Amino acid sequence: MTAESPVGPFSGSSLFPPIADYGFLSDCEVSALVAPSGNVEWLCLPRMDSPSVFAAMLDRDAGGFRIGPADIRVPAARRYLPGTMVLETSWGTPTGWIIVRDLLLMGPWHHDEELSETHRRAPTDYDASHVLLRTVRCVSGEAQVALDCEPMFDYGRRPVRWAYTERGYHQGLARADGQELELMLTTDLRLGFEGGRATARTLLREGDTRFCALTWTTHEPPYTFQDAYARLVWTAHHWQHWLARGDFPDHPWRGFLERSALTLKGLTFAPTGALVAAATTSLPEVPGGSRNWDYRYTWIRDSTFALWALYTLGFDWEADDFFWFIADIAERDEELQIMYGVDGERVLEERILDHLEGYEGARPVRIGNAAYRHRQNDVWGAVLDSFYIHTRTRERLDERIWPMLRRQVEAALRYWRDPDRGIWEVRGEPKHFTSSKVMCWVAADRGARLARLRQELDLAGRWQAAADEIHADVCANGVSERGVFRQHYDTDALDASLLLIPLVRFLPSTDPRVRDTVFAIADELTVEDLVLRYRTKDTDDGMAGEEGTFTMCSFWLVSALTEIGEYARAHRLCEKVLSFASPLGLYAEEIDPLSGRHLGNFPQAFTHLALINAVIHIIRAEQGRLITPRWPGTVPEP
C-alpha cells in the first residue's frame, strides 16, 4: 500500500466535521464533543455511557447545541486555555470579534450533608457540578450571536418539549415522554421555543457578555454572567492545579504529555476510577464502513499501560483509583471479562441503532459491545502486570490482593494452551495468537515474582516452571522460519501486538528474534511509516474492508525501536506521529497515513497512553538513562 490510501478515497463535501476537529470536554463523569461551528454534537447523560441527548456527530438530526455568530460557521482560532479542559473559540465577523468559552464545570465537593450514590473511591476536594457552561464576550466591534439548543433524548429517538420556568424568558425546562432525565437551560439571553428547539438571538457590542448553562441535576446553575465567569475561573484553576501535581520533563514535547494527561483524566469516570477507552461510539475506522464500535467502557488490558503512564507522570492518586477499580472486579468475579461498564457492569449487550445515519453514512451505529463475551487470554497478564507495578510502588502486597492474584495466575495457566480472539478482538475463528501466549507468560512470571516477595517459594517455583513452559512454547511455535515472531501459530503474518515482546521483557532487546521482529514490522507492516495492526487480507477478523493505521501501534514501534537501540529512527518516527495530532492535541484510534485524517473513536485513551510511553522512552534515551528498568515488570527481582 503505497500509492493510495489503505482506507479508500475521501469526500470533501461532508456535512460532518472531521473527527480530529472536535474539541473534548469532561468533568470526569460525562464528556462532550464540540464541533468547530460551536455545536455540541455529542453529550451522553447522566454518565459517559448513557444514552445521548446530543448526537449530531452520528446523525445531523439527532440533537445539537450551538452558540456563536449568527451567520459565521468557521472560527478564526480554537485552543484550550493552557493547562485546562476549557475550550476557547475565537470568531471574526465582518463587524466584530467574539470569544466563546465552553466547559463542563467542576466545583468543590458537594456531598457534605448526604452520601454520594455513585462514588466508590475516596472523595477529593472537588467534584463535577453537572453543568455545561458556555460564555460569550464581544472583544471588538459588534456581532449578532445566536443560540440554538435542540436536545434529542435516547440517541435521537425522543424529541423534547420546552417550557418556561418561574425565571421567565431566561430559563427553559426540557422533557421527553417516557424519560426521567430533564434538562434545564439557564441564560441571560431571552429564550424562545420552536417545537423541540430553544433559541435566542442578540446583538453584542464591544465589552458585552452573555452566558448559557445546561444542567441535568438539582445542583444550581449560575444565574448571572459574573457567577458563571467565577465558576469558569474556578474550573480552569482546578485543571491547572491538577496538572501541576504531575512530573513532566522539561522538553519540547512536554505539551503532548500534558494534553495526554488531561485527556486521560477526562476519560476517567471519577466515581469508580474506571478509564473508558474513548468518549464515543461508532466513529468509523473505515469511511462509510462497518468497523464501528462502542468504546465507552473500560478494558482490563488498558490497566498495565494506564498505571505505568500515570505513575510515570506522578499521578499516583489516579493510578490508585484505577487500580482499585480493577481490584474490585478481580475480587468479585471468579473469571475476569476483558471489559466492563464504568461501574463494573458485566453485561454490555450490543445493539444496532438503525434510525441513525452514522458518521458520514458509516453504518451500523452500535451501542454496547459484544466483545465482553470474548475469551481473550491476554487479560490475566495485564492484570498481573498492573498489580505488580502497583506493588512495586508500595513495596508490599496488600493481603486483600493476594487471593485474587492467585486466582488470575491459575486462570492463565488453565487456559494458556487454548486459542482465543486476541488483543484485537477478532470476530473470526479463535487462533493461538502469539501475543496472547506472551501475556499468559507475563501472568505466570509476575505471579512468581510476587510469590517470592511473599516468601511463598513452592508456589513461586510452580508458577515459574509454568512461565518457562509457556516461554518455550512461544519460542518453538510463535517464530517463523525467518526468525520473526508471527501473529499466530498457523500463519507467518505479522501483527503489531508483537511489538510488546521487548516491552514486557519476554526476551532481551538484544535477542535477534526481537530485533528482526521490530524491523519486520517497521518495514513490512507500515504505510508511510505508520503501523497497521495487521494486514486485513491475512487475518480472519470477521469484518470486510481495510482500515487505517493504528496510532497506538505507531507509538509502540517508537518504544520498541528505542528498546533495541535505534534511537535516531525512533526519534524521527515519534516526531512524525506527533505531527498528526489534532489541532487541539488529541488523537482518534487510527490515522489515514496519506491524508492525515483521523478515524475511529475519539479521543482514544490507549493512543494517549502509548504516546506517553513513547515520548518518555525517547526523552530518557536522550538523557542517557537506562530504558530497561522503566517499563512494567522490569524492576530487579525482589
Q: DSSP letters of 563-617?
A: HTT-HHHHHHHHHHHHTTS-TTS---SEE-TTT--EESSSSBHHHHHHHHHHHHH
Strand-pair partners of 193? 198
Going from the C-alpha of 634 to that of each of 20, 337, 504, 637, the distances in angstroms are 36, 26, 8, 9
SS (H, E, C) 23-34: EEEECCCCEEEE
Q: Is-contact 377 431, C-beta < 8 A?
A: no
DSSP code of residue 65:
E
- pLDDT tens track for 559-601: 999 999 999 999 999 999 999 999 999 999 999 988 999 999 9
Using the predicted structure, report yes or no on whether residue 366 has a pLDDT greater than 90. Answer: yes
**pLDDT confidence of residue 638:** 28
**pLDDT confidence of residue 625:** 53
**pLDDT confidence of residue 379:** 87
Instruction: Work out the number of other CB atoms within 10 angstroms of the CB of residue 123.
Output: 14
CA distance 409 to 406: 5
Residue 2 — very low, low, confident or very high, per pLDDT cuts 50/70/90?
very low
- pLDDT tens track for 127-161: 899 999 999 999 999 999 999 999 999 999 999 99
Q: What is the mean pLDDT of residues 113-122?
A: 66
Strand-pair partners of 11? none
- pLDDT tens track for 181-219: 999 999 999 999 999 999 999 999 999 999 999 999 988
**pLDDT confidence of residue 12:** 54
CA distance 126 to 231: 13
Residue with cell 514490522: 521
Q: Is 416 helix (H, G, I), strand (E, B) or coil?
A: coil
Joined grid coordinates for residue 506: 519476554
**pLDDT confidence of residue 122:** 72
Average pLDDT, the chain: 91
**pLDDT confidence of residue 544:** 61
Question: Cα angle at 617 between 487 and 575, to 5 degrees?
Answer: 85
Going from the C-alpha of 230 to that of each of 107, 128, 150, 161, the distances in angstroms are 11, 16, 27, 31
CA distance 602 to 584: 12
Residue 376 — very low, low, confident or very high, per pLDDT cuts 50/70/90?
confident
Q: Is-contact 621 566, C-beta < 8 A?
A: no
**pLDDT confidence of residue 102:** 98
**pLDDT confidence of residue 56:** 98
* φ/ψ (deg, to 5) at 189: -85, 165
Using the predicted structure, report yes or no on whether residue 6 has a pLDDT greater than 80. Answer: no
- pLDDT tens track for 457-502: 999 999 999 999 999 999 999 999 999 999 999 999 999 999 999 9
Residue 623 — very low, low, confident or very high, per pLDDT cuts 50/70/90?
confident
Using the predicted structure, report yes or no on whether residue 375 has a pLDDT greater than 90. Answer: no
Residue with cell 461510539: 281
Instruction: Work out the number of other CB atoms within 10 angstroms of the CB of residue 403.
Output: 10
Name every residue whose Cβ is closer than 8 Å to that of residue 260 and which is 6 or more positions away in sequence.
Answer: 309, 585, 608, 609, 611, 612
Half-sphere exposure of 589 (CA within 13 A, CB side): 23
CA distance 483 to 528: 25
**Which contacts qualify for 402-405: CB closer than 8 Å, 24 or more apart?**
402/450, 402/454, 403/331, 404/327, 404/330, 404/331, 405/330, 405/447, 405/450
Q: How would you classify residue 129: left for phi > 0, otherwise alpha for psi between -120 and 50, otherwise beta?
A: alpha
CA distance 471 to 556: 22
Is the sign of the CA dihedral 363, 64, 588, 424 positive or negative? negative
Strand-pair partners of 198? 149, 193
Q: What is the mean pLDDT of residues 515-541?
A: 91
In the chain, the amino acid numbered 191 is: L
Q: What is the mean pLDDT of residues 505-527?
A: 97
**pLDDT confidence of residue 136:** 98
Element at 268 (helix H, strand E) = strand 268-269
Q: Is-contact 359 284, C-beta < 8 A?
A: yes
- pLDDT tens track for 318-354: 988 998 899 899 889 888 898 999 999 999 999 999 9
**Which contacts qualify for 465-473: CB closer than 8 Å, 24 or more apart?**
466/413, 467/441, 470/416, 470/437, 470/440, 470/441, 470/444, 471/441, 471/506, 473/437
**pLDDT confidence of residue 117:** 66
Going from the C-alpha of 49 to that of each of 32, 44, 341, the distances in angstroms are 12, 7, 8
- pLDDT tens track for 30-89: 999 999 999 999 999 999 999 999 999 999 999 999 999 998 999 999 999 999 999 999
In the chain, the amino acid numbered 491 is: T
Using the predicted structure, report yes or no on whether residue 115 has a pLDDT greater than 70. Answer: no
In 3D space, the residue among 351, 367, 344, 356 whose CA is nearest the CA of residue 280 turns out to be 367
Name every residue whose Cβ is closer than 8 Å to that of residue 112 and which is 6 or more positions away in sequence.
Answer: none
Residue 396 — very low, low, confident or very high, per pLDDT cuts 50/70/90?
low
**pLDDT confidence of residue 112:** 65
Using the predicted structure, report yes or no on whether residue 7 has a pLDDT greater than 60. Answer: no
* φ/ψ (deg, to 5) at 456: -95, 75
